Structure 1
């Protein structure tokens, strides 16, 4: 698929790892068919690297396969960087829409699930994004089905969460997310992905800091400011 995508110079190649699926596939197929997403993305990264080394066209790629939360999105973009520029969330998006629709129908019938009653008895109370949608669409808000509100609220949660992860990593646009933002928690994960094992990540830098090499070179400066003492880095 990667070779064909390169030869045809397609606009986007979507790669779907095992663990994904909309739920309409046979259960055993969803559990047993295909290559797990992390392994598949590592293979994809290697294949795309080969194309780049050959000077061939490298197609833009999107990653899918069981992704559902903001940390999944961040990791998928980082693991495939700089080639993977998007992620696909199928089953989770459908689930958000279906739950939204179920809640909406419950509100209409006066049968709100007990776990939601503490928030209120209307769309405005239960879905946090209703005020935003009302402001944006005005009278047309009434035409928006509860399922769409549920999906929109879910995507807003993903967007906010992804921004928080990116801010923590000091990455302020998607293009700056790289593989260096990841560490592998197991030796197996490190072997498969070529991402540094957590016990070895930044080891040389840490040793240099502990031995005073960086401080002697003026990379770190101690700044006294009452009542606290700060260490600032030029890196």
Structure 2
């Protein structure tokens, strides 16, 4: 895809989505970290319902650590894989308290050393909390990278690396959320809403749904 086309894609997305940010409710970097860990294979809506009960009770590493695994499970049992997530969150809180003074670290290496935090989660924290120009490739971004033709790749890492190279600098910080939100509400998986898409004539997707109801 030509650089001018890529630039126009992000210009249009930025106009269509003027306030691109995460839909996970949080009021601190720590709350964001916990929400992102809980969001693996779960919806943001489901995570927000659980954290709305959890965070008023415990929203620091020490406070969640004090709940223990079983105590934490009571707040997040509506989320998929809640047992393993509870163990990861408690262990993450222990590491934050013991090794980082209760603060969320701002380096990829330190973040990825936390249980339940992989490259994607680390990218979300680095981008959303610390303003770094990272792109966390979830299912939406992986789909868009290939479907639109922005950054075709067989793996999330391949798509991520290509996106970082092709996205214009001025859009790199917001690219992550622009693509996620576009994928969540317009370029959806089964039947993308091509007739209402601002990228319809720029997109390289061959099976456009322009004639579908």
The structure with more radius of gyration = 1
TM-score, normalising length: structure 1: 0.27
Bigger RCO of structures 1 and 2 (CA < 8 A, at least 6 apart): 2
TM-score, normalising length: structure 2: 0.29
Q: Which has the higher strand share?
A: 1
